[in-house]
């Protein structure tokens, strides 16, 4: 077991982690770690683009209104205003760091997506926006001497004492080695938890580990019931739920049922460009009412070259599975996509633990409310990663020398039974993971009710009991432990929220109830029990 010292540690290497690392590299030595390879993050899969009010037809005020409307009266308006007012600067910073956005002639090309009033979504290389941003920032990170980037490190737990964070324990996914990294402070930028669900647009690494780490360290987490389901992911046998960008609907694509009916006209006046929660529930209802197996998205009526140039990633991916979207309908289904809740943090990304900051999808800054506006996620990451890094630097100047934490480390190694950690795969743990994801999909999905939620909680508690009987502990074991923790909190939150708002829909409480506008914060107490605030 080795100890390493850095000025700053950043956990997670999407847009928030990369941007934070670049900013902090000017202030000291930075460690940036990722759970998987550098391209295994939600940023890589973001297709639509990044929203910002930069056109003459747009305004900060209008973008704020659209964000608040989409958030279903649950956003922090001050934080939303701050994010959008700083959007233009964040875009300029991305361009400075090498991101090349698409142009129409001499003007930036701007797309339109669901619940946006005007065209305001910038994109890069068509529907490869997230990939382009990640590559540009990652190249900057690789060429910055003050940043050490380490991939395939699983963050086990944070090292804390007296409500202050000192570092992180990590497990190397390739050889099972446990290491300790210490620093003046940590930024959590670990993304969401879409992989708690069987059907998800997220990569396999998104199991909410950063949120679970922060929770076990004593941080508050809140609004975990708000899981956004993206209406359109690929629905082909033996193919993953590949994201079919909302920008396709922004370019005129229509949703059709098996009798070729454009059904969204029955659900919302904005039809295909309604809010994501509305479109997802409409698809769910169409399937349920008519017992149809398939819902389709059709863009084939547009020019073939336009489709291939504007959506090269969707076109090529579908073609790989034998589907030519310039000629055929795309079979789609909603899938878990984005977490609006997460680690509770203020406008400066500060948590209730000294030295611990959070931004991006793992954090809850209340800028998305109960339902995120399309393409505001990359905007949040770009804006608040700078804030988090600036605030961590300011904190580091004020902190005293580190306390003696050897006693904390020794105690932790005993608790996790360090000698029984292995890096091999165990089929039983993998099967338990699959079972959990199926339970979440079936009972904690787009439409929920008390009976289904209670059944899900019991079934997941049974999975937890079985996991505790397993002696050999590996990465899958610790990952499943995190998945169980977050699933239980999601279910509890969904049970407490006896209303329907945004992405959280209770069939037994189908209306909004302002009694629940303040939400629920969860924290662990000294006896390791859940405390509801």
**Which residues are designated catalytic?**
276
Q: How many helices (H) and strands (E) does the chain have?
A: 16, 23
* Cβ-Cβ contacts under 8 Å for 410 (sequence gap 6 or more): none
104 and 44 in contact (C-beta within 8 Å)? Answer: no
| Cβ density class 6-32: b for 16+ within 10 Å, e for less | bbbbbbbbbbbbbbbbbbbbebebbbb
Looking at the DSSP bridge assignments, the partners of residue 200 are 336
Task: Identify whether the C-beta of residue 227 lies closer than 8 Å to the C-beta of residue 368.
Answer: no
Q: What are the tokens at 221?
A: 């987490």
Sign of CA dihedral 383, 386, 389, 390: negative
* 342 DSSP assignment: E
Quickly list DSSP for 268-287. -TTGGGS-HHHHHHHHHHHH
Cβ-Cβ contacts under 8 Å for 347 (sequence gap 6 or more): 76, 78, 79, 82, 365, 387
Q: Which residue has the tokens 């699959």?
A: 434
Q: Let me know how long the chain is.
A: 533
319: left (phi over 0), alpha (psi -120 to 50) or beta: alpha
- Give the HSE-up count for residue 63: Cα atoms under 13 Å, Cβ half-sphere: 29
| Structure-token pair, residue 35 | 């759970």
Which helix (H) or strand (E) segment is 319 a member of? helix 312-320
- Which residue is listed with tokens 């930069």? 54
């Amino acid at each position: 077991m080795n100890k390493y010292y850095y000025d700053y540690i950043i956990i997670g290497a999407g847009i928030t982690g990369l941007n934070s690392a670049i900013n902090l590299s000017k202030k000291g030595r930075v460690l940036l770690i990722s759970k998987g390879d550098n391209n295994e993050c939600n940023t890589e899969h973001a297709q639509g683009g990044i929203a910002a009010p930069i056109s003459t037809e747009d305004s900060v005020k209008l973008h704020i209104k659209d964000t608040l409307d989409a958030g279903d009266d649950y956003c922090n308006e001050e934080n939303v205003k701050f994010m959008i007012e700083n959007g233009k600067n964040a875009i300029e910073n991305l361009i400075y760091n090498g991101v090349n956005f698409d142009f129409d002639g001499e003007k930036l090309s701007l797309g339109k997506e669901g619940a946006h009033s005007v065209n305001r979504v910038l994109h890069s290389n068509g529907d490869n926006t997230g990939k382009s941003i990640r590559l540009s920032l990652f190249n900057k990170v690789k060429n910055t001497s003050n940043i050490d980037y380490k991939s395939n490190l699983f963050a086990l737990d944070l090292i804390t004492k007296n409500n202050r964070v000192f570092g992180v324990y990590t497990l190397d996914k390739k050889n099972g080695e446990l290491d300790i990294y210490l620093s003046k402070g940590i930024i959590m930028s670990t993304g969401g938890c879409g992989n708690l669900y069987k059907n998800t647009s997220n990569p396999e690494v998104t199991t909410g580990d950063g949120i679970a780490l922060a929770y076990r360290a004593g941080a508050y987490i809140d609004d975990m019931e708000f899981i956004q389901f993206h209406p359109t992911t690929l629905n082909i046998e033996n193919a993953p739920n590949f994201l079919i960008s909302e920008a396709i609907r922004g370019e005129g694509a229509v949703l059709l049922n098996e009798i070729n009916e454009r059904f969204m006209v029955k659900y919302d006046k904005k039809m295909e460009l309604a809010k994501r929660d509305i479109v997802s529930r409409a698809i769910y209802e169409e399937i349920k009412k008519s017992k149809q197996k398939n819902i389709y998205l059709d863009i084939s009526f547009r020019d073939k070259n336009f489709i291939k140039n504007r959506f090269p990633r969707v076109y090529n991916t579908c073609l790989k599975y034998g589907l030519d979207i310039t000629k055929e309908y795309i079979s789609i289904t909603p899938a878990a996509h984005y977490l609006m809740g997460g680690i509770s943090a203020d406008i400066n990304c500060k948590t209730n633990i000294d030295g611990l900051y959070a931004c991006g999808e793992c954090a809850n800054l209340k800028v998305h409310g109960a339902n995120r506006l399309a393409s505001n996620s990359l905007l949040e990451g770009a804006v608040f990663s700078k804030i988090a890094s600036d605030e961590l630097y300011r904190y580091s100047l004020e902190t005293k020398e580190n306390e003696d934490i050897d006693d904390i480390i020794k105690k932790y190694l005993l608790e996790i039974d360090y000698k029984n950690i292995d890096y091999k795969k165990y089929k039983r743990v993998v099967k338990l993971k699959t079972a959990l994801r199926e339970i979440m999909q079936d009972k904690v999905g787009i439409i929920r009710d008390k009976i289904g939620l209670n059944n899900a909680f019991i079934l997941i508690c049974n999975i937890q009991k079985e996991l505790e009987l397993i002696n050999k502990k590996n990465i899958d074991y610790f990952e499943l432990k995190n998945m169980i923790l977050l699933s239980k909190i999601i279910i509890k939150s969904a049970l407490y929220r006896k209303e329907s708002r945004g992405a959280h829909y209770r069939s037994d409480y189908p209306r909004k109830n302002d009694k629940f506008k303040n939400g629920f914060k969860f924290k662990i107490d000294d006896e390791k029990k859940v405390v509801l605030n």
